[in-house]
Amino acid sequence: MSSLAIAVFDSGLGGLTVLKVLRDHFPGENFVYLGDTARLPYGSKSPETIHKYAKRNIDFLLKTKIKAVVVACNSASAALRSHPVAAPVPVFEVIQPGAEAALAATKTGQIGVVGTFATVSQGAYAKCITSLSAEVTVHSQACPLLVPLVEEGWIDDPLTNLVVNRYVGPLLNKGIDTLILGCTHYPILKKNFRKVTGPDIQLIDSGEAIAHKLQRAIAHGSVAPNTGGRGSFQILTTDKTARFAEIAAYLLGEQNIPTVEVVDV
Ligand code: DGL
């Protein structure tokens, strides 16, 4: 039994989509969420810079009492896969679970990936998927306009649908049957993606994939479960960001606006 928190970090608010899924799957666990809003966006930065930020976040979180780290950010996960950091607790990234979920879902072997420029240019999903199976072809598309649209709150918006269509259309023409939403912000646009793909394409969400990975880690004993009752969560950011708490409440499905503490990482 361990009441220590599971730390989740992202460049900003997108990782709250992952926290939401984790809280739904593990209601008894305590979570601490760090949004590195002072350095957002990660997706347009170099792998070296993203790695530096990710390592700082992990070092900071390790100083609080935690039993595992979930790197919710795909761009950071991609950078850490190339150069993993040593840590005294398990560190989970989202690329491998997403890749495994896509491989389990595809029937045609044509898998699409959408993500930030950083994730796609490092070939993170493509390398991971093809290392797991030689039978599949991966078609990747960077979608740099989508994060700003989400940050602007243009979710249910025809302009956003047009942008999604522009990015995803060429992948559909390649015959994909599975599409990895390889960025923390994209699950917020799931309806927009669904509108463009139609009902038959499998959409893979990192949050769900990482939840299954954590479930396996708990079952195998590498992460001790908290059996102490109802879990709590704490939200930290590296910059005071307007409306963060309000958006956090919306993304987490919470009635009350949570407290957001600004920390120096
Ligand atoms: N969290 C980032 C990711 O999943 C998207 C936002 C950003 O560019 O920082 O790649």
The predicted pLDDT at position 229 comes to: 77
pLDDT at 127 over 60: yes
pLDDT at 1 over 70: no
* Cα–Cα distance measured from residue 156 to residue 235, given in angstroms and rounded to the nearest whole number: 26
By CB atoms closer than 10 A (0-12, 13-18, 19+), residue 119 is buried
Q: How confident is residue 18, by pLDDT bands cut at 50, 70 and 90?
A: very high
**H/E segment holding residue 251:** helix 244-252
Q: How confident is residue 241, by pLDDT bands cut at 50, 70 and 90?
A: confident
Secondary structure letter of residue 258 according to DSSP: P
Please tell me if the CB atom of residue 74 comes closer than 6 angstroms to any atom of ligand 1: yes
Mean local confidence (pLDDT), 106-134: 97
Distance 184 CA to ligand 1 centre (A): 6
Give pLDDT tens digits for 40-54.
999 999 999 999 999
200-210 burial, b at 16+ Cβ within 10 Å, e below that, comes to ebbbbbbbbbb
Q: Which atom of ligand 1 is nearest to the CA of 41?
A: 9
Average the pLDDT over each of 66-75, 120-129, 227-236, 254-263 and give the range with the smallest value.
227-236
Q: Is 181 left (phi over 0), alpha (psi -120 to 50) or beta?
A: beta
pLDDT at 31 over 60: yes
- Cα angle at 225 between 104 and 234, to 5 degrees? 95
Distance 183 CA to ligand 1 centre (A): 6
Give the residue numbers marked as catalytic: 73, 183
Please tell me if the CB atom of residue 40 comes closer than 6 angstroms to any atom of ligand 1: yes
Distance 62 CA to ligand 1 centre (A): 22
Give pLDDT tens digits for 85-107.
999 999 999 999 999 999 999 99
Question: Which of 121, 146, 183 best tests ligand 1's pocket when mutated (most atoms within 8 Å of CB)?
Answer: 183
* Cα–Cα distance measured from residue 27 to residue 51, given in angstroms and rounded to the nearest whole number: 31
Contact 136, 173 (CB under 8 A): no
Give pLDDT tens digits for 159-211.
999 999 999 999 999 999 999 999 999 999 999 999 999 999 999 998 889 99
